[in-house]
Chains A and B, each alone.
Chain A
Amino acid sequence: MATFLGINLFGLFGQLLVGLINGSFYALLSLGLAIIFGLLKIINFAQGAIYMLGAFGAYLGLQYLGIGYWAALIVVPLVVGLLGILMERFLIRPIANEDHLYSLLLTFGVALVLQGLFTHMFGSSGLSYAIPDALKGGTKLPFMYLPSYRAWIIIASLTVCFATWWMIEKTKLGAYLRAGTENAALMQAFGINVPLMVTLTFGFGVALAGFAGVMAAPVYSVSPDMGSSILIVVFAIVVIGGMGSIGGAIITGLGMGIVEGLTKYFYPEASNTVIFLVMVIVLLIKPAGLFGKEA
């Protein structure tokens, strides 16, 4: 067994890999939250339920419609994004001018309904979804065994995160989006269709969660409460990173995944709580969050 300074490298790298994978999901989910928050100033409590919906979408698509993994990776986010658009248009927009706490409660209600529906239909035990054939097996590296699907998760989600970052920070569409974040009324005066932009942004943020759900289906068991537990962790990550920047959301998500993985190796008892403890420390030292802009 390979050891270095008394540390079992197989175990350490294994946990680091798990951490990176969890971090990929954290990054995708907090990125979606950050994009929605930027323009709508609301936190989508249903983001976890949407992630669960994505995983169930992949499962049901395969079971009943013969939609394979690769097709699901495209179709499910589109369908879920469309649901998000309907949700924004018919539920969130009517109360857009009220206190933002109301929209938070509204999305919480949506999350309860979705989770309740799936618990009712599929029970609370998890379902399993097979890894696609092309990604079965793995590679043996000097210090660890790297399953192909896990490598794929990291590559695919980093690509999506980076593409989103690039789109928002470097393209004209992204410039509109950032301008809308600063001052939506002024954008409207310049002739940009802000309500449409808000709706599409919400749809996109939600679609990211759906995408994360499809990616998660083969590695985690597909169950109705898979979304709520991850969402609370993602909230803590959002508080740690602050909502100030898109890049910050991605980096904090990945970083916290790695911190969690390391904790699992060195002190497993605290692995569930370490991210919350980091949040406490950040609140004490830099209350606005690591990348936060507001005072």
Chain B
Amino acid sequence: MKISKLYIGLLGVALVAPFVMYPVLLMKILCFALFACAFNLLLGFVGLLSFGHAVFLGTGGYVTGYLMMNTGLTPELGILGGTVAAALLGAIYGKLSVKREGIYFAMVTLALAQLMFFVFLQAPFTGGEDGMQGIPRGYLFGLIDLSDNLNMYYFVLAVFLFGFWLINRTVHSPFGQVLKAIRENEPRATSLGYNVNDYKWVAFIISAALSGLAGSTKTLVFQLASLTDVHWHMSGEVVLMTLLGGMGTIFGPLVGAAAVVGLQNFLSGGELGNYVHIIMGLIFIVCVLAFRGGIVGEIQKIVKRNFG
């Protein structure tokens, strides 16, 4: 009861937000929040730290950009194409990387992502260092003009809510329970007869597909697909968002994404712009040393202690 009130309240805020704040910034936050939520599905609920998740964001973005510029598809089909491409790549990469665990998993995903980085750098259709620019937003279902920022905002909000709902559904399904069992005690999950690697693999694909969905949507918002999205910095950023917000919590990645995007936006305006990476690194260090629950995790702890 309490939780559903919270959901309705947040939805209300999200609906009126574009009249108070700059819609493009809000859309950026929503795209990154979806990306972080998808990432958190792996890190927070299966215990797998992927250090190459940017590759799915970027693949979704490039494929959607290519489709929108060259085929005249409507935006929802363009986004679907990008998402499917990311899911396929996720199926391949997931199959390879779930063979190793822990720190090796992080290194394998990072190296696989770097492989695609060089592919995108050299492939003829991506525009190399310049990226793809001037990608049209098009008409949603052929009807609604997305070049209007307000229309675009509500579309992005709908995409985000769909992704958020899907992750929530996954986490609370029997499948999600098995994932949590794997996180808590992998040998026991194996001994109970679960094929652990297959469960990890499916979770990896869902996470990759939703990251691709986030990337595709982001490409439409900014009408741009570039190497920044596949760079390892981006993989690090999504880790930071999830860690800062609270890994393994439902709302953590959303809060973390808003905080990091907000911070970057704030810093890039002022003379502190040069310090972005230093500050992000410091947040990493502080979070790990003193603040491992993240913002939402720590709040939950306080709530539990005082009202539980």
Name A residues whose Cβ lies closer than 8 Å to a Cβ of B.
Answer: 37, 41-43, 91, 94-95, 98, 100-106, 108-117, 119-120, 228, 232-233, 235-236, 238-239, 269, 272-273, 276-277, 279-280, 283-284, 287
Chain A interface helix/strand/loop/mixed? helix
The CA of A147 and the CA of B211, in the complex, are separated in Å by 48
Report whether over half of chain B's contact residues are helix, strand or loop; otherwise say mixed: helix
Interchain CB contact under 8 A, A116 and B111 = no
B264: CB under 8 A from chain A?
no
Q: Which residues of A contact B99 (CB under 8 A)?
A: 283, 287
The answer to whether B284 touches A105, judged by C-beta atoms less than 8 angstroms apart, is yes
Contact of B103 among A42, A120, A276, A279 (CB under 8 A): A42
- List the 6 closest A-B pairs by CB distance, nearest first: A109-B284, A112-B281, A116-B277, A113-B281, A116-B278, A276-B115
Query: Given A235-B111, A279-B111, does the pair A110, B285 have CB atoms closer than 8 Å?
Result: yes
* B170 at interface by CB-CB < 8 Å: no
Whether, in the assembled complex, B274 has its beta carbon less than 8 Å from a beta carbon of chain A, the answer is yes
Q: Is B85 an interface residue (CB 8 A)?
A: no
A116 touching B288 in the complex, CB below 8 Å, given contacts A43-B106, A236-B111: no
Option from A101, A104, A105, A239 in Cβ contact (under 8 Å) with B111 = A239
- Please give, as numbers and ranges, the residues of chain A lying within 8 Å of B288 by CB-CB distance: 95, 102-103, 105-106, 109
**Contact assessment for A236 and B107 in the assembled complex, using a CB-CB cutoff below 8 Å:** yes
Chain B interface, number of residues (Cβ within 8 angstroms): 40
Q: Which of B102, B277, B292 contacts A115 (CB 8 A)?
A: B277
> For the complex, is B280 an interface residue (Cβ under 8 Å from A)?
yes
Contact, CB under 8 Å: B96 / A284: yes
A5–B120 alpha-carbon span in the complex (Å): 35
Whether B278 contacts A104 by the Cβ 8 Å rule is no
For B282, the chain A residues whose CB sits under 8 A away are: 109, 113
New contact pairs (12) apart from A105-B239, A272-B121, A273-B119, CB-CB < 8 Å: A43-B103, A91-B289, A102-B288, A113-B285, A116-B278, A236-B111, A239-B100, A239-B104, A239-B107, A272-B118, A273-B115, A280-B112
How far apart are the CA atoms of A117 and B274 in the complex, in Å?
9
Do A109 and B111 touch across chains, with their CB atoms under 8 A apart? no
Once the chains are docked, how many angstroms separate the CA of A41 from the CA of B274? 34
Docked-complex contact A112 and B112, CB < 8 angstroms: no
Nearest A-chain residue to B282, judged by Cβ: A113
Nearest opposing residue in chain A for B96, CB measure: A283
Q: Which chain A residues lie closer than 8 Å to B100 at the CB level?
A: 239, 283, 287
Q: Chain B: residues with CB nearer than 8 A to chain A?
A: 49, 96-97, 99-100, 102-104, 106-108, 110-112, 114-115, 118-119, 121-122, 232, 236, 239, 243, 274-285, 287-289, 292
Do residues A91 and B275 form an inter-chain contact, with CB atoms below 8 A? Answer: no
Contact A106/B284 with A117-B278, A232-B111, A239-B104 known, Cβ cut-off 8 Å: yes
Q: Is there an interface contact between B115 and A277, defined as CB atoms closer than 8 Å?
A: yes
Closest CB-CB distance, B107 to chain A, in whole Å? Answer: 4
Give every chain B residue within 8 A of A103 (Cβ-Cβ).
288
| In-complex Cβ contact of A112 among B49, B114, B278, B287 (8 A) | B278
In the complex where A110-B285, A112-B281, A284-B96 touch, is A104 in contact with B106 (Cβ < 8 A)?
A: yes
Taking CB atoms, residues of chain A closer than 8 Å to B279 are 116
User: Cβ of A106: which chain B residues have Cβ within 8 Å of it?
Assistant: 284-285, 288-289
Chain A, Cβ-Cβ closest to B92: A280
Q: Are A232 and B114 in contact (CB under 8 A)?
A: yes
Q: A91, A110, A232, A273: which contacts B110 (Cβ < 8 A)? A: A232
For B118, give its contact among A42, A115, A120, A273 (CB under 8 Å).
A273
B106 pairs with A111, CB closer than 8 A: no
Task: Give chain B residues whose Cβ lies under 8 Å from the Cβ of A41.
Answer: 103
5 contacting pairs across A/B (C-beta < 8 A): A106-B285, A120-B278, A269-B122, A273-B115, A287-B99
Q: Which residues does chain B contribute within 8 Å of A279, judged by CB atoms? A: 108, 111-112
